[in-house]
Structure 1
Amino acid sequence: MDSRLTFVLLGAAALALAGKPASAAKLFHGPVEAAVLEVLDGDTFLAEALVWPGHAVRVNVRIRGIDAPEMKARCRAERAAAERARDALAVLFGDGPVAISNIAGAKYYGRVLADVTTADGQGVASVLLGEELVRPYGGGRRAGWCG
C-alpha cells in the first residue's frame, strides 16, 4: 500500500475516534483497592489506586449516594457539621485501604463518583447516613445546611 494512502487512512481513523468522547455514564465495576491519602470533606477523599501492576493513579473520589456539608460553608453551623462529617469519615477509613467500585467519571469537578467500602467491609455511605452526618443524594439540586 502506498505510504501516502496509509497515512491518510490512519489520519481518518484517528479523527473518527477523536470525535467520540468517552461516555461519563460508563462504569468501571471494580472493585479497585485504594489507599486513602487525604479526607477532603465528608463525601470526598484523595485516593491512590493501583490500576495495573506497578501503575497507580491519584484521584479525588466522591462517595456515591450522599451529600455532606461543605468545608467552604455559608454559615458556622454548616462549617461545624462539615468538620464532624470529615473527621468521622477519616475515623471510618482508619489506616486500612478502601475498595472503590462502580466508578464513573461525572460532572464532579475532576473527581470520580464511586461506591466505597472500608477494609472491614462497611459501606461508607450507609455508615455516614446512619450517623446522620450526611444526607442522601441522587443528583440534582442539593438542600442547604444553614437552617
Structure 2
Amino acid sequence: MFRLIPFFIAVLAVIPLATSSYASESGKRIEIAGPVTAEVIRVIDGDTILVAAKPWPQQTMEVYVRLRGIDAPELKSACSASRNAGQQARAALARLTSDQGEIQLTHISGDKYFGRVVADISFSDGRNPAQEMLSAGYVSPYGGGRKSKTCSSW
C-alpha cells in the first residue's frame, strides 16, 4: 500500500497540467483528465485491477484501479451465489485484459477507500472493459452510494 503514495503525489503534482477540473476551496472532487498509460499487472476482482501506471517517461508506479461505473459481486460475500458470480466476473475481466498491452486511464479520481483510484479505462483498440462487463451481465451499474446487502443470483 505504501508504494501507492508516490502515485498519488505524482497525480496531485500534475493536476494543473493535466486537467481543468481539480479541487477548489469549495471541496470539488479532484480529477485528472489523463490519459495515463498503464499495463495491467493482475486482476483483483471483477471491478478492480492492479496496474503499472506511467505518469511520466521512465517512471512506473503500481496502483489499484477501480473501473468507473460498475460494481462486481463480492468475492468474500456470505452469499454463495454472490461469491460464484464474483469469481465469474473476475475471470471475465482477466480474459478481457489478458492480451492487452498498454491501456489508458482517464478521468482519474480518488476512491472512498485509501490506496485505490477510480478511472475510465480503454484498450488500445478503443474498447471499454467496464462496458463490456456490463453488456455481458457480469457486473451491475454503479454510480456511488450504498450497495444492496441482499443475496442475489446476479
Output the TM-score relative to the length of structure 1.
0.80
Partner of 1:47: 51
Tell me how many residue pairs correspond in the alignment: 127
1:114 to 106, 111, 119: 119
1:68 to 59, 68, 72: 72
Q: Does 1:82 align with 2:81?
A: no
Q: Does 1:92 align with 2:89?
A: no
Whether contact under 8 Å (1:33, 1:100) holds in the other structure is yes
- Which is further off, 77-86 or 93-102? 93-102
- Please tell me the residue identity of whatever aligns with 1:88: A
SS of the equivalent of 1:83 reads: helix
Gaps of 5+ in 2: 1-23
- Please tell me the residue identity of whatever aligns with 2:30: K
1:129 to 119, 130, 134: 134
Q: Partners of 1:91 and 1:119 in 2: how far apart?
A: 16
Cα deviation for residue 58 of structure 1 reads 0.5
Q: Partners of 1:77 and 1:145 in 2: how far apart?
A: 11
Gaps of 5+ in 1: 1-19
Cα deviation for residue 34 of structure 1 reads 0.7
Whether contact under 8 Å (1:24, 1:104) holds in the other structure is no
Alpha-carbon RMSD across the aligned residues, in angstroms, is 1.8
SS of the equivalent of 2:62 reads: strand
Partner of 1:13: none
Cα deviation for residue 24 of structure 1 reads 7.6
SS of the equivalent of 2:114 reads: coil
Q: Percent identity?
A: 45
Partner of 1:57: 61
Displaced runs of 4 or more, over 4 A: none
Change in CA separation of 1:24 and 1:88 when aligned onto 2, cut-off 3 Å:
farther
